[in-house]
Amino acid sequence: MQTILTDPDHLANYTDRYFTEVVPVDVDDNALAMQGQQAGQAYQQTYDMPAPSAGVAGSQQGVAPQQQWDQFTDVMNRNPENAWRVLGAMGPEAMRSKLLFMDPS
C-alpha cells in the first residue's frame, strides 16, 4: 500500500487500470424491464430546502465595512466552518474595501 502512495508511476498505472478496465456485470431480466419502464416516466426534480429569509442578504449593508471584516475575523477564529455565511451576508462595499489591484506597470 505504501508504494502506491509514494511511487507516482505505480499510482498512475493503478488509476489508469481502475478507470479503464471494464468488468462484466450480471443483470437479471427483471431489472432491465424495470429500467425500461422508468425511462418512459418524466423526471421531476424537487427541492425541499427552506428559502432564505429576505433580510439575510441586505442586513449587513448598513454596517461599516471594517466592522464586517472584524466580524469575519472573529468567526474565523471561533468557528471557521461557518465563515462563509459571514462572507455571504457582507455588502458589496465591504468586498470592495478589501480588493487589491495590481498596477500593470
- Grid coordinates of 73: 475575523
* Residue 104 banded pLDDT, cuts 50, 70, 90: low
Characterize 6-22 residue by residue with b for buried, 16 or more Cβ atoms within 10 angstroms of its Cβ, and e for exposed. eeeeeeeeeeeeeeeee
- Grid coordinates of 68: 464586517
Per the listing, cell 449593508 goes with 61
pTM: 0.37
Most confident range, picked from 30-39, 51-60, 87-96 = 87-96
What is the mean pLDDT of the segment spanning 98-104? Answer: 65
pLDDT > 80? residue 23: no
Q: What is the DSSP string of 18-67?
A: HHH--------HHHHHHHHHHHHSPP-----PPPPPTTTTTTTTTS-HHH
